[in-house]
Structure 1
Amino acid sequence: MRIVLGVGGGIAAYKVASLLRLFTEAGHHVTVIPTEASTRFVGTATWEALSGNPVSNSVFDDVHQVNHVRLGHEADLIVVAPATADLLAKAATGQAGDLLTNTLLMARGPVLFAPAMHTEMWQHAATRANVETLRGRGAAVLEPATGRLTGADSGPGRLPEPEAIYDAAMALVQGQSDFQLPLAGRTVTISAGGTREPLDPVRFLGNRSSGKQGVALAVAARNAGATVRLLAAHMDVPAPAGVEVVPVETALQLREAALAAAADSDVVIMSAAVADFRPAEISDTKIKKRDDHADPVITLVRNPDILQELVELRNLKGAGAGEKQQLIVGFAAETGDSQGDVLAYAEAKLHRKGCDLLVVNHVGTDRVFGQDHNSVVILARSGSEPQEATGTKTEVSAAIISRIGLELNSVSPRA
């Protein structure tokens, strides 16, 4: 596929190098057209090296090829990132002062704008009008991500992550002209990994969780357009780029972080493996073997039920007029026994906890924990049919996030 990648003059231009690599590694032919201002952030040599093609922003280069006409006609897709307030205004008003704006006027295929600017610029009436104008003409304009901006500012205006822009671009060329990133504008908090409860300075009670599923969920939510906060207990894998990471160790620390994060979250996904119990006392020194061979006695106390507490807090707070309640998703790592099978225990847990969705894992010594594949069943409090998802943890996460998007964007309110 022939792609024109327009680069606007914002500091987020450096992130577009990763987007270019995603396009080229997928086998697409990419022509980069940076604005003059954008070359103050990333030079043309970078774009030429990564794309393997010459780069220009002038209509007077290679005049014999009539590039200001040819590029727009030949492009199967045009992506503009970052689409600054200035670029959106020029595109909406049909200006043609450089090679990129000329190419946009000549475009015959789909056009995708990925905005990035300060919050006040994005929310300004002029910018909003320009966005609506472009959308009205058939262009796709993504919602910017919410988070840290240049300097100390924070709010809507961050460039969506390169993976999210790539996914949106591929959806657009596949004919999904009415596509939306399902979690655009949403804030999602995800817990991941396994908590550790200290016994003494060197020992702890833990579990086999690797954090792979939680990290895959964070990536899927990020790629779906969400602002993602990852509450990271012990994990065997690194946290993904483009998400806020809050490190925790114990169940009590996770509880504190989860309650704080839930305050501004549209979705809370509790996928961490949280210890049900913790030692009643923590020794200040290493517990040693005694000469009399007496075995130590360790008394355990119950940890708080974080998921249930989040549900109770959500229900107490309620939703504002015209708003939907926060969506809460729990995970159940279950094993069957003589008293019941995995789903029977999971359904009982769903009703006991009161969360909206419960993702059920059938776990064992060599199942789920630490593995790259997973098989889950998604149960809904509404009573809808259970949904199965099987595959890599990336594929399972995509299915879970897709289901969450459907729940959030459903017409009928949740019971």
Structure 2
Amino acid sequence: MRILLGVSGGIAAYKAVLLLRLLREEGHAVRVIPTASALRFVGAPTFEALSGEAVTDEVFEDVAHVPHVALGQGADLVVVAPATADLLARAATGRADDLLTSTLLTARCPVVMAPAMHTEMWEHPATRANVATLRERGVIVVEPASGRLTGADTGPGRLPEPEEIARVALDAARAAGQGPAPAADAAHDLAHDATQHDLTGRAVVVSAGGTREPIDPVRFIGNRSSGRQGAALAEAACARGADVTLVAANVDETVAASARAAGAVVVPVETTAQLRDAVRAAAGQADVVVMAAAVADFRPAEVPGSKIKKVPGEGPAPIALVENPDVLAELARDRLRAGQLVVGFAAETGDARGSVLEHGRSKARRKGADLLAVNAVGSGRGFGAPVNAVTVLDGQGEVVAEASGTKRAVADAIWDVVAKALPSI
């Protein structure tokens, strides 16, 4: 695949070197097109040595080959990382005052931009308007990560890690019919790998992770959910064209960052009450709500303001528990938007009272959701594992689909079922 890597002038330009290496190691031909400012952060010899191709920001070099037109015309994928506020503004207004912006005007392949700038610049109305304009034109503008910026500043505006940018960009190229399916997941049929935009125009809410209920200021009741399946659902929905909100309960920042890089809006929460409020706030505008989070069934009736102390010779004081709201059942009952599809997850283990599937069928009928994805946890599957296996049930407990493999493969299999169940727009 022929990839153009645009680099604009921000301190995060050094990460473009790592992204270049990743793309080259995947076997792609990559030409770097920097802005003049980018070359003040990373010199042309570095890009040339790693890409094996000449590097320039000038439209008046190699004029006989008309590079400002030919480069875009011959590209299979354009990635701009970092994309500064200035570059976003010039691209949104159709400027063509250097080789990179000229190339962006001639490219008819997928274009992915990974912004990086200070929080105030990212949140400025002008930048947000420019991003909206670019997205309306079909450009994939990934959400920046939150974290340490230049100096002591922290906040949203940090460039996502090169691995995340590469994954989003290559997914976009595969969705457009460029390049092979991911070798690491050969069982993941390309038809299920974001090659269809069957969720375009849909608003989706996904919950992920595991809620934590405080016992005291330092301890909590929780579970082993990593949030990776929920994040995979969010990423797959983004790739299929949806506007996605991910309500993330205590997920690792790398998991949240991956979802942001795919285009999801990530709302961090901790407790069941916080998750319930966040999901319901977003669900009012959603076509689909997927409750993939592992929600704590109970919480302490009272939470002391100081740490519970161990007293030598005395046993632990009992902790009175109260039941948490059943968020999935409430969503299924209330349907906060007309025609809304509600999907639940049930992590189960078999016991003397029944098998995993039997427990799942009982829960499907009890919860009232349209679909319930039942997965057995343990034995290297489910919580914390890289792979998963689910049986998708309808509201009556009947099997409508089964899927296994990576969590992304499972996510796309679930969206296949959901997309067919959604009414036409």
Q: 5 Å matches for 1:27-46? A: 27-34=27-34, 39=38, 45=44
How far 1:256 moved relative to its partner? 2.3
Local SS of the residue matching 2:255? coil
Residues 19 and 166, structure 1, Cα contact 8 Å, conserved in 2: no
Q: Which residue of 2 aligns with 1:267?
A: 288
Please tell me whether the aligned partners of residues 247 and 278 of structure 2 are also in contact (alpha carbons under 8 angstroms): yes
Q: For residue 351 of structure 1, what is the aligned residue in structure 2?
A: 365
Farther-moved stretch of structure 1 (197-206 vs 10-19)? 10-19
Q: Deviations over 1:218-250 (max 9, x none)?
A: 443444454543333334674332254433332
> How big is the alpha-carbon RMSD for the aligned residues of Structure 1 and Structure 2?
4.7
Q: Equivalent residue of 1:260, what SS?
A: helix
Distance in 2 separating the partners of 1:185 and 1:225: 7
CA contact (8 A) 1:14 1:41 kept: no
- Offset of 1:362 from its aligned partner? 1.4
3-state DSSP class of the match of 2:302? coil
Separation (CA, whole Å) in 2 of partners of 1:248 and 1:309: 19
CA contact (8 A) 2:284 2:337 kept: no
Residues 16 and 237 (structure 1 numbering): CA distance in 2 closer, same or farther, change over 3 Å? Answer: closer
Q: Alpha-carbon deviations, 1:68-113, whole Å to 9, x = none?
A: 687567x36253657968658869xxx9x86568878998xx6234
Find 1:166's aligned residue among 167, 170, 174: 170
- Paired residue for 1:328, among 336, 339, 342? 342
Which of 228, 233, 236 does residue 220 from structure 1 map onto? 236
Q: How big is the shift at 1:332?
A: 0.4
Report deviation, 1:336: 2.9
What's 2:308 paired with? 286
Pick from 302, 308, 311: which aligns with 2:329?
Answer: 308
SS in 2 for 1:111: coil
Q: Describe the shift of the 1:193–1:59 C-alpha distance in structure 2 as closer, same or farther (beyond 3 A).
A: closer
**For residues 77 and 380 of structure 2, what CA distance do their matches in structure 1 show?**
47
- Report SS of the residue matched to 1:374: strand
Is 1:254 aligned to 2:275, yes or no?
A: yes
Alignment match, 1:230: 246
Q: 1:9-408 counterparts in 2 under 5 A?
A: 20=20, 23-34=23-34, 39=38, 45=44, 47-48=47-48, 51-63=51-63, 67=67, 71=71, 75=74, 77-79=76-78, 81=80, 111-114=109-112, 120=129, 141-142=138-139, 163-174=167-178, 180-184=196-200, 186-235=202-251, 238-241=254-257, 242=260, 243-283=264-304, 284-286=306-308, 288=310, 291=313, 296-313=317-334, 315=335, 317-319=336-338, 325-364=339-378, 367-381=381-395, 386-408=400-422
Question: How big is the shift at 1:356?
Answer: 2.6
The answer to whether the 8 Å contact 1:377/1:388 transfers is yes
- Structure 1, unaligned runs of 5 or more: 132-140, 149-153, 155-159, 320-324
TM-score, normalising length: structure 2? 0.67
User: Matched residues in 2 for 1:332 and 1:180: separation?
Assistant: 27
Which of these two proteins has the greater Rg computed from alpha carbons? Answer: 1
Q: Is the 8 A contact 1:230 1:245 kept in 2?
A: yes
**Post-superposition offset of 1:64:** 6.7
For normalisation by structure 1, the TM-score amounts to: 0.68
Give the whole-Å Cα distance in 1 for the aligned partners of 2:216 and 2:102. 68
Gap regions ≥5 residues in structure 2:
116-125, 146-155, 157-163, 180-189
Give distance in 1, aligned partners of 2:244 and 2:18: 19
**Do the aligned partners of 1:9 and 1:84 also contact (CA within 8 Å) in 2?**
no
> Does the aligned pair in 2 maintain the 1:79–1:169 contact within 8 Å?
no
* Identity among equivalent pairs (%): 48
Which stretch shifts more, 380-389 or 194-203? 380-389
Matched pairs, number: 372
Q: Whole-Å Cα distance in 1 between the matches of residues 297 and 77 of structure 2?
A: 52
| Structure 2: distance between partners of 1:344 and 1:16 | 51
**Separation (CA, whole Å) in 1 of partners of 2:40 and 2:247:** 33
